[in-house]
Amino acid sequence: MSISKFPDRKNFLPVNRNDLSQRGWKNCDFIIISGDAYVDHPSFGAAVIGRVLEDAGYKTGIIAQPDWKDPEAFKVLGRPRLGFLITSGNLDSMVNHYTSAKKRRRSDSYSPGGKCGLRPDRALIPYTSAARAAYSAVPVILGGIEASLRRLSHFDYWSGRLRRSILIDSKADLLVYGMGEKQIIEIARRLAEGEDVRRLQDIRGTVYRMGMREEEKTNSGKGIGKPLALPSFAEVSASKEAFANSFVLRYKNTNPFTAKALAEKTDAQVAVQNPPAAALSEAELDGIYSLPFTRRAHPDYESKGGIPALKEVEFSLTVNRGCYGGCSFCSLAFHQGRIIQARSISSVTAEAEKMTQLPGFKGIIHDVGGPTANFFHPACEKQRTSGACEHRECLYPEPCPNLDVDHSRYLELLRGLRELDGVKRVFIRSGIRFDYLMTAVEQDRQRGQNKECDGPGSGIEFINELCEYHVSGQLKVAPEHVSDQVLKFMKKPKNAVYQRFVREFESVNSRLGKKQYIIPYLISGHPGSGLNEAIELALYLKKQGFIPDQVQDFYPTPASLSTCMYYTGIDPFTGKKVYTAKTREEKNMQRALLHFHKPENRKIVIKALQKAGRNDLIGNSKSCLVRPAGYKRSGR
């Protein structure tokens, strides 16, 4: 499809009645309500669902960032024939609005010109209310990341308490969790056939609600098998141990091959979560990315400064979904799942060829990846047919013996992209899982000692080509910490693995004659980290002579294992207590220790060191982290 600098409005989903008239439509089958501005790019969930429905023959429009206080704003496309589809956008609306210190953010990269305040807090609730006020009898279906991670009871960091399923709080009819393409097509078909939305209780990857009397009558609801009863909302609210137990049951039922339906009673209602939808096949995933996305923000935003978030992904390629990395602070297992779903090389290459024709493309593909760039096939053969193991992680605490460690297919893709006409550079910025890569390198070296082994192996080839072709001077990776005590609770590899990767990276760059550097992402204040662990990280940074830019205070977002530990003070899988920094003062201390060199942090760093009994690190010697209070550097 040829795309001009300012694509015609007809290339986008309708956003007003004039757009409907141009298409000859009187109304839409579905109207998407989104907390994000409308960007027609496959990195934006609302656009993907809209294009999938359009491809299936459903008339679909989108109302982006409507005024939730005015029901008339929800009528700009008229009454939808089949339903409203509501999402807060690509981020949870609270994460979008607030920092980890609960301070209001100064900009919103998913809004025109970065303007704040164009969506409400906990957006699904007021959006549903306004949609109901506009057209009371129209089905309302929730989806997106906010719906996925708040689908059952969850800790809400911003209010400091547990909240009910957002399906119950919003009073919507149905909730879709996960990426949603399979679910939305089945929902659309059945609604179009005249089925009542309240009868849609057997669709995988959805949550429905019913009254207690209905639940008692049916005993098992009308869903997929008899649900496994979770502790009720009253029970998890009264007992942190009960919430921890509930978390374990939910985590163990994220595998679409083995998961059971789950039921959680809340007051006079029951939220029933059906098992996850099956992973998409390669052909299905290819089909989604072949849809006619313009890869542009809607033309209405041109005069408003555009959409900043598009700049990060406009010339990037998403090649996979899912992650079996298992990091505690990540909620991906509850959204995309642990099974890797990868596109075909021909599909990615075809998308890249189209990208080279876009206005503004300067020959640089900014990223080729997904949640984890170098996971380009399932973890093992078992994962293809049975899903991820319930009682075992693929990489933690050590790589599983059955892990299929191979970069050859990803290398083939990268080599093909480098050869395309119009492509000058291909970068990888979405994250390399360094422990997976080092496992591959070490396996290559072991095979290399075998005289029957030919070639260096895909691990060694990959790190060589990574350094030679795919790093733009700095490679961002995520060790997160250096204390093995903290890394254990993060479910990250031991620090020694990261150090081996650093040495390998430096060795390869030295041989290539390149000056390239690793930029590590670090987290302060994670469960398991006290002042002593924060000091350990500060001393490491001082020894390395490295001043980190990428430091994130631990952010307890809904549904992650780390958030469960933060709220309960318990490792839910072992039942053991976990130390967690809860006070703002200690959080600030741990954060300041990572920037101990800043003059404005001197007082709080001294206070932290004194509290930890590390007065030996306060002084004028090179071994100290900070000068004493009142110290003034003498000038020359």
In the chain, domain spans = 9-206, 315-472, 474-486+503-636
3-state SS, 228-281, equals: EECCCHHHHHHCHHHHHHHHHHHHCCCCCCCCCCEEEEECCEEEEECCCCCCCC
Specify the pLDDT at position 219. 46
Distance CA 540, CA 518 (A): 15
Specify the pLDDT at position 430. 84
For residue 336, give the DSSP letter.
T
Crossing angle for the helix pair 602-611 and 531-544, nearest 10 degrees?
130
CATH class for the region spanning 315-472: alpha beta
The neighbour count for residue 377, using CB atoms within 10 Å, is 17
Q: How many CA atoms lie within 13 A of 596 on its CB side?
A: 29
Specify the pLDDT at position 390. 85
The CATH fold assigned to 474-486+503-636 is Transcription Regulator spoIIAA (3.30.750)
Q: Which neighbouring-strand residues pair with 271?
A: 209, 264
The reply to whether 453 sits in an annotated binding site is no
Distance CA 498, CA 45 (A): 33
Specify the pLDDT at position 541. 94
Specify the pLDDT at position 448. 73
Identical topology for domains 9-206 and 474-486+503-636:
no
- Below-50 pLDDT ranges, the chain: 1-4, 219-221, 451, 635-636
Specify the pLDDT at position 120. 98
Burial class (CB in 10 A: 0-12, 13-18, 19+), 393: middle
The reply to whether 400 sits in an annotated binding site is no
The reply to whether 323 sits in an annotated binding site is yes
Q: Which two tokens stand for residue 445?
A: 């070296």
Distance CA 315, CA 152 (A): 36
| Superfamily of chain region 9-206 | Cobalamin-binding domain (3.40.50.280)
Specify the pLDDT at position 174. 98
The neighbour count for residue 21, using CB atoms within 10 Å, is 11
Distance CA 352, CA 484 (A): 41
